[in-house]
Structure 1
Amino acid sequence: MSDEWKEPSESKVLGDGAGQEQKSWKLLEKTLLASVQEQRRARRWGIFFKLLTFGYLFIALLIFSPSLPIGSSKSDATGHTAVINVRGMIADEESASADNLVGALRAAFADGASRAVLLRINSPGGSPVQSGYVYDEILRLRAKYPQTKLYAVITDLGASGAYYIASAADEIYADKSSLVGSIGVTAASFGFVEAMKTLGVERRVYTSGEHKAFLDPFQPQKADETEFWQGVLSTTHRQFIDSVKAGRGERLQVEAHPELFSGLVWSGEQALELGLIDGLGSTSYVAREIVGEENLVDFTVKETPFDRFTKRLGASIAERLSIWAGLPGPQLR
């Protein structure tokens, strides 16, 4: 009997179709997995090159940053006038902090080639504590190195805490148009009491001391607390005045000008008449004509580029907000 042709069974046809479909899905799955792996590999390489670039920049900053924290140049055997810049706000963590200025002053006085030390000042003032630290250190160094004079030269501005520091110098010089003085103390804040009432906001403060929240700008002022705070400012002002008098002595024309310690600021020309400064002149003038050594060597503490980068990166937003909303403390202005 001859073999008869038979049609493929339905189950076999379906089986072959399912197999082809399964193969297609496996191929698609492999393609997708390969694409994901390629993306992961690309991301890894991207991260690697970013880290490599950052490491390169970090090493470059360390290599090419100044290796000496104090001074932009070293002294030689011929002698020089040591210069220290006092720029900007006098406050902790600023370039004109007590730590930076005291360190620079010690290095400048200790350098045997320093014929004199010159403070080049352009500052509106700042913290009475930081200014007091520098003032006291200047007096100590002047007593330790009596042969080395210290001069202060005010450029654009030498006010408040900056003048506090300058008054410890042997002599003070300024330009005829410099702004000098502002011997006073200020502390400022805002009051949001009425604004909170308008907005319907209730302030809740919990303290364990009767006057613990007396500087809270969201609560009404109390007469006794205001009087107390004014006493704190007056005490700081008196300390400021006593230090200036001790530094300037009889050169101050206090009797003829009782407003000398009122917080007013004067031009360099007026300051000379008031006894706040000793003469008119620039840094180079003082070095050349007064010290007799016009070779200037900068002993100012230098921030490396890496220091500046990290300082900006780590700037505290919370601190700025607290200053805006509350009271940062008394300032010599």
Structure 2
Amino acid sequence: MSQPHNLFIEWYNSLKIVKANNGPANGSIATALVVLTRLESDFDLNFAAHIAEGGMQIKGASGAAVAAILKAFGEDRPFAKEGGRTNRGGPSEIRSLLETEKKIQELEKYTPTQWQNQLHIQKEFLVERVKDFHNRQKLKLTFNPAYSTWFIISGLLQEAINEGKAGYVAQHLVGAKLQLRFPDIPVSNESGSTADVQTQRPGDFLIGHTAIHVTVAPMPPVFEKCKHNILAGLNPLLLVPDNKLVGARQIAEQMCEHQISVESIESFVSQNINEVSIFSKEKLIVSLRELIKIYNERVDAVETDKSLMIELPLNLL
């Protein structure tokens, strides 16, 4: 594959790195693909030609538009459902991209045909980055039968934290645990990027009269949600990492004394797995395997980032 102009590479390398992606945000790549495609038919490097009314979004950016571009390059896996429309940095990144293209033109004096070729190469480069995104390794689960279930779950969460994926993993892990524990009750499944307000949800999950909130960073807004739950006649349950448990409980008591249950994600998941396994080591292996199977199915159904999925170790297969 031919490489794009070095100035384009410099522009790409200047994009903000998202830890979970080990590269730029999906929306950054998506909006660039949309703009480069438009430049192929209308080589207008003025920023105003590419910004939608209101100045906050890139014109023509949508999930469908990005999917069509990727499909033309043989890539049909889901990527950037919003097409970069909600990417806050999109306009400034595109402004910088257009300035880069102007510099390339000043240096190279490309003919229209040469520009067509250069734009195609730039798009091809970005599509390769999309493929890199999809081909990243899954999270690794370490299973040692000598370890407690709590420690196994804690280790998995720690790896997710290291990879910048903790929030997503925690939510889907709790969802999988609930589905495993209550197979006859529908357990909602939303992308980790979906805000409760978008779906009118009282929390990440609603089981009976309990609204369950899962967060790796217990900040004031989640406690406000708990207060709203109480006013609505629901019992809020807040799940946080073990190292945030003491602080979260203190805040919960200050805001709504004796009305918000706060537990660690590690304990909530591991204790239930032990109970489902009837505290049997042999059955624990089966339960953990089933938990990860359900988790992966839930992630696969709603997340474009498949590296959130968990790879089973050989001793759990």
- TM-score by shorter chain over 0.5: no
Q: Give the TM-score normalised by the residue count of structure 2.
A: 0.28
Greater share of residues in helix: 2
Greater share of residues in strand: 1
More contact order relative to length (CA 8 Å, sep ≥ 6): 1
Q: Give the TM-score normalised by the residue count of structure 1.
A: 0.27
When Rg is computed on C-alpha atoms for both structures, the one with the higher figure is 1
